[in-house]
Amino acid sequence: MNEVNLKWDQLGFEFQPTRANLRFAYRDGAWQPGQLFTTYDVTLSVASNCLHYGQAIFEGLKAFRCRDGKIRIFRPEANGERINSSARHLLMPEFPVADFVEAVKTVVRENQDYVPPYGTGGSLYIRPVMFGTTPQIGIASSKEYQLVFLVVPVGAYYKGGIKPVDAMISDYDRAAPRGTGHIKAAGNYAASLYPSKVAKEHHCQVALFLDPGSRRFIDEFGTSNFLAISKDGKRYLTPESTSVLPSITNLSLMQLAKDLGLEVERRPLRVEELADFGEVAACGTAVVLTPVHRIFYGDKVFTYSEEIGPVLRKLHDRMLGVQFGELSDEHHWLTEI
Ligand code: PLP
Ligand code: COI
């Protein structure tokens, strides 16, 4: 039963406050016990590391109200492991994966009225964010941190849901060849804002980035990983690159593709190969699996179906079927709260 009165079927991807967020502070070399807060404000020195030197990382995962009425979270351990990989790279403290999963369960339980009802297509997006709070003026890693788990009820990231979007290959890079593209650093998203604005000015909802080293291969979208289906519908292709985020959705879709009998190829994908693909999509927690209609590259345009293609449709339906508890969770991806 949802006591919260929201227009569930009109949810987009907008921040709105919920009942509680869960916060952990790191000081004196240790994480302190979590505390629930009902406000969204933090008190921070203007000299805090995260404001000047960018020690800020985050995660994104979802909880679903399933067909049987129970609430389940999709692969929280994987996000727990990834936040630690981000933390290691930016010299931030790791948070034990078991505690991460427990924190996610707690914050979802505290906000369970905000999990959209089954049948609306919505879910509860969980956003863990960690930032360095030590006031300092010399460049060094912070000594104190906060890790906050907040939640937001969400619907489709791109208006239109699975209606294919247009993408534009960016003239800019979001990451460096040996930089931070493989972790979920807040700064990567700041770097993608201007290229995304340029893409929108060209009527493309999303920017597609090339590998920043040679700019000959496809990397990923600003919001999500890139995947393609071969014209014969038998192969699932996705870039192998050191500057893309290892997407948990992509990893799961690769497994579902194998289950459906597709061959999975994870290798560098040359830009010219865009002409060989039958179906193309963006995938990630927020965008789920969003098909791509056209990709603009200078004066070239690669065109795919105006509606979701048959293989992407199968993958999409399998994924959501598992997440909403309509199909069996064969790979043990769901955690009940
Ligand atoms: N790539 C980027 C740049 C992202 O921001 C995201 C979203 O988290 C993804 C890929 C997809 O990752 P995941 O499927 O783990 O959400
Ligand atoms: C997610 O999918 O969880 C992300 O962090 C991507 C962002 C565009 C919301």
pLDDT tens, position by position, 214-228: 999 999 999 999 999
Residue 270: what are its φ and ψ, rounded to 5°?
-70, 145
pLDDT at position 76: 98
pLDDT at position 161: 76
Question: Which ligand does the CA of 157 lie closest to?
Answer: 2
Does the beta carbon of 285 lie inside 6 Å of ligand 2? yes
User: How far is the centre of ligand 1, averaged over its atoms, from the C-alpha of 228 (Å)?
Assistant: 16
Question: Which ligand does the CA of 60 lie closest to?
Answer: 2
84 and 95 Cβ atoms separated by less than 8 Å: yes
Does the beta carbon of 286 lie inside 6 Å of ligand 2? yes
User: How far is the centre of ligand 1, averaged over its atoms, from the C-alpha of 125 (Å)?
Assistant: 13
pLDDT tens for each residue of the chain, 337 residues long:
557 888 998 899 999 999 999 999 999 999 999 999 999 999 999 999 999 999 999 999 999 999 999 999 999 999 999 999 999 999 999 999 999 999 999 999 999 999 999 999 999 999 999 999 999 999 999 999 999 999 999 998 887 778 999 999 999 999 999 999 999 999 999 999 999 999 999 999 999 999 999 999 999 999 999 999 999 999 999 999 999 999 999 999 999 999 999 999 999 999 999 999 999 999 999 999 999 999 999 999 999 999 999 999 999 999 999 999 999 999 999 999 9
Euclidean distance between CA atoms 316 and 121, whole angstroms: 13
Does the beta carbon of 224 lie inside 6 Å of ligand 1? yes
| DSSP at 263 | E
Q: Which atom of ligand 2 is nearest to the CA of 286?
A: 2
Q: Using CA positions, which residue lies closest to atom 6 of ligand 2?
A: 223
Within 10 A of 3 (CB to CB), how many other CB atoms are there?
7
pTM (two decimals): 0.96
Q: Which atom of ligand 1 is nearest to the CA of 222?
A: 3
Does the beta carbon of 241 lie inside 6 Å of ligand 1? no
Task: Compute CA distances 305 → 122, 311, 313, 316, 336, whole Å.
Answer: 26, 12, 12, 16, 37
> Quick one: how many helices (H) and strands (E) in the chain?
6, 18
pLDDT at position 2: 58
